[in-house]
Chain A
Amino acid sequence: QDIAGFNIGILGGENAQDRLANHECLKTYTEEALGVPVKLFAPADYNGVIQGLLGGTIDMAWLGASGYAATYLADPEAVEPVLVKINMDGSRGYYSIGFARIDSGIASLDDMEGKAFGFGDPNSTSGYLIPAIEIPQYKDGVTMAPGEYFGDVVFTGGHEQTIVAVNNGDIDAGVTWADGQGAWEDGYNSGALRKAVDAGLIDMNDLVEIWRSKEIPEGPVVLRKSLPADVKAKMIALVDGMYDADPECTYNISAGESLGFDPIDHEAYLSIIAARQSQSE
């Protein structure tokens, strides 16, 4: 069967206008490859793209791992993961980093008893799902229910807001994402901390890392399952081969340096899905 158009949903920490601009090259390539008009959508939060995928109005997106799990749990037949970004060192993961202000005297989760802790967006893997599961494993007695171990647990709304909130002292510690490469004082090579440093919002001397998750798999590029097989094949080939064909465009769509994309499948996300399901209970 044929398709009349192709819609790409894009997420990420950059502002919408930059995101759209960065994906303009992908749009051009896709139009060439599929011969149909392509539209880009940059909704404000994960939920917008997830709803689009579930409703069948968005054909392709690059989701976070938790976002994929949410989509899968809502409708296993909606999308399939096809590709994942490869980092400069060849890894396919990143970390959730817990951090606090250095002058608060907090050095680890042990010092967080009775203090306020902040997550980002509930649909974020590193900003919520993984720390929500792994932090309680830190030691006995740690739970994520407000008022039990932590004095309060809040959602700040996103990585950027978490950083500002911790820096301001609104909350005592929070979690955000980083690639874990490079040095703490630079805010690592990439991630939300690095962006805040570059923007002049924070001084890494003021902050300290208090916790780090296990490696989190990068979120997959997903395609709607009901797309025609040839469309899927063309798109996979296009994105997979992008790094060789147009490194500049790869840089743009992966929001930084990377080694391009590699194929991946559903199995890689089983643990995340299980984690998400356990959080839903």
Chain B
Amino acid sequence: MAHPTTHHHDSYFDLVRRKRLYGGVMLVIFVLLLASGFRLADARNAGGFWDGLPKVFDFPADVVRDTAPKLDQLPGHMLHFLPSLIETINIAATATLIGALLAIVLSLLSTRGLARWPRLIGLFRRMMDIMRAVPEIVIALVLIFVLGGGPVPAMIAIAFHTVGALGKLFSEVNENADLKPVEGLASVGSRWGQQMWLGVVPQVLPNWFSYALLRFEINVRASAILGFVGAGGIGYELKNAMSWGQGRFDEAAAIFILLFGSIVLFDQLSSHVRNGLAHKGGH
């Protein structure tokens, strides 16, 4: 019975052989890369992985040891650092807001079918790629040099990166937008801005919003990190307390609790809102 269909059998076995070969080769390459990468990193590190593993909790233990007797001071510290936390959050919120607004414009300009100047799509895309690729810390440090320390360099740096990151996500969303309403609006003689505002924005807003919230979460962390290089906010306080070490770990712990608490808070809040959006805007 196999006779008339021999070639089906053969072609399938060919496929299986080829797949196994590719799969096997890929797997071997991946495992080799991972293993040799690990060994290389291990060798280039000051301390080895296996030697260090038992000491992982030394530092946290120091912090706890230093903090435990001064537990009563923690609320005081927290109150003291609250303004810095608010500054950090303001940096993140403003940067997300400004970044998202610019990202909206750029993403619309770089989406096929929606672009105002279709020829410039490539240009706007490259712009976003570059904005996304430059690490925030670089822009922040340059701006600190020109503008002096404080929240503004961090805000600009994060906003700059946000434009690129959100721009890419937004234009992916835009690509899935239905063009029919846009065409309908174009046929009545409306301007580009009106077509976007009425034809595209209502369709994509929920998705934009959910990505922007996700970004806000990330930006809270980023703005805390930029504090490490002198951009103000809670990160700056954390770095000072941490690098002093023994003796000020209680402050570090207080800041850490504040920072971590707010990150978790925003995380939960945003996933809550996003879930709500997903369910409401189901179709």
A, B in one complex: yes
| A residues apposed to B, CB below 8 Å | 7, 9, 39, 41, 45-47, 50-52, 54-58, 70, 73-74, 121-123, 154-157, 161, 164-165, 168, 170, 277, 279-281
Scan residues 1-56 of chain B and give those whose CB is less than 8 A from a CB of chain A.
44-47, 52, 55
Please determine whether A57 and B52 come into contact, CB atoms closer than 8 angstroms: yes
B236–A155 contact, CB under 8 A?
A: yes
Contact, CB under 8 Å: A168 / B247: no
Given the complex, which residues of B lie within 8 Å of A154, measured CB to CB?
149
Asked if B117 lies at the interface with its beta carbon under 8 angstroms from chain A, I say: no
The verdict on B245 contacting chain A, using a C-beta distance below 8 Å, is yes
Contact residues on B (Cβ < 8 Å of other chain), bracket: 20 to 34
Task: Please state if A164 and B145 are interface contacts (CB–CB under 8 Å).
Answer: yes
Task: Give CA–CA (A56, B240) in the complex, Å.
Answer: 23
Cβ contacts under 8 Å, B52 to chain A: 55, 57
Task: Let me know if A156 and B55 touch, CB within 8 A.
Answer: no
A50 touches B245 (CB 8 A): yes
Top 3 A-B pairs, shortest CB-CB distance? A280-B247, A57-B47, A170-B148
Taking a contact as CB atoms closer than 8 A, the residue among B47, B149, B229 that contacts A165 in the complex is B149
Q: Most chain-A Cβ atoms within 10 A of its Cβ — which of B46, B144, B230? A: B46
What chain A residues lie within 8 Å of B149 (beta carbons)?
154, 156-157, 161, 165, 170
Residues on B with C-beta less than 8 A from A45 are: 243
In the complex, A48 Cα to B228 Cα: how many Å? 14
Cβ < 8 Å to A, chain B residues 197-227: none
Cβ < 8 Å to A, chain B residues 94-118:
none
B132 close to A (CB within 8 Å): no
Q: A123-B244, A280-B247 are in contact. List 8 more A-B contacts (CB 8 A).
A: A9-B46, A57-B46, A73-B246, A157-B229, A161-B149, A165-B148, A165-B149, A168-B148
List chain B residues, Cβ under 8 A from A156: 149, 230
State in angstroms the CA–CA spacing of A9 and B47 once bound together. Answer: 12
**Docked CA distance A121–B248 (Å):** 15
Of all chain A residues, which has the CB nearest B148? A170
Chain B nearest CB from A78 CB (Å) reads: 12
Residue contacts A-B, CB under 8 angstroms, 11 given: A41-B46, A54-B58, A55-B47, A55-B55, A122-B244, A154-B149, A156-B230, A157-B229, A161-B230, A170-B149, A280-B248
Cβ of B62 within 8 Å of any chain A Cβ, yes or no, is yes
* Nearest chain A residue, comparing its CB with the CB of B227: A157
Chain B residues with Cβ below 8 Å from A280 are 244, 246-248
| B44 close to A39 (CB less than 8 A) | yes
Determine if A56 and B47 form an interchain contact, defined as CB atoms under 8 angstroms apart: yes
In the complex formed, the residue of B with least CB distance to A155 is B240
* B242 in the interface (beta carbon within 8 A): yes
